[in-house]
Amino acid sequence: DTAVSQTPKYLVTQMGNDKSIKCEQNLGHDTMYWYKQDSKKFLKIMFSYNNKELIINETVPNRFSPKSPDKAHLNLHINSLELGDSAVYFCASSRLSEDYGYTFGSGTRLTVV
């Protein structure tokens, strides 16, 4: 049973397109996150939701819009894709007491051509 699952695993698309990445967790966690990992492996948080409510929104272009239909799902929609959006996007989840750390999905490699 996969704890945090993301789909798709790979996504290749043209500039200007709109795409979505889905994330689901079956751990009963309250909080979910999106992180972006660039080509140098640097990880930066994008968004965080707690019980469907947005609590962190880092400096991310408006083209990126997270949606959380329930606390087990956090999807990421990206409009008007640009070359610089190419990266690996990781979904993660945690309990309310975050000292336990995060559980990460296996990532979605987005390539914009």
- Residue 42 CB burial class (10 angstroms; 0-12, 13-18, ≥19): exposed
Distance of alpha carbon 25 from alpha carbon 96, whole angstroms = 14
Indicate whether 55 belongs to the interface with other proteins (CB under 8 A).
yes
Tell me how far, at minimum, the Cβ of 16 lies from other proteins, in Å: 28
Distance of alpha carbon 17 from alpha carbon 48, whole angstroms = 24
Which position among 1, 39, 97, 113 is part of the footprint of other proteins (CB under 8 A)?
97
> Position 11: which residue type?
L
Q: Which of residues 7-36 bind other proteins (CB under 8 A)?
A: 31, 33
Tell me how far, at minimum, the Cβ of 43 lies from other proteins, in Å: 4
Indicate whether 68 belongs to the interface with other proteins (CB under 8 A).
no
Which position among 13, 19, 22, 45 is part of the footprint of other proteins (CB under 8 A)?
45
Which residue stretch of 21-29, 60-68, 76-84, 99-107 sits at the interface with other proteins (rule: CB under 8 A)? 99-107
Report how far apart, in Å, the C-alpha atoms of 51 and of each of 3, 35, 72, 103 are.
Answer: 17, 18, 8, 16
Indicate whether 104 belongs to the interface with other proteins (CB under 8 A).
yes
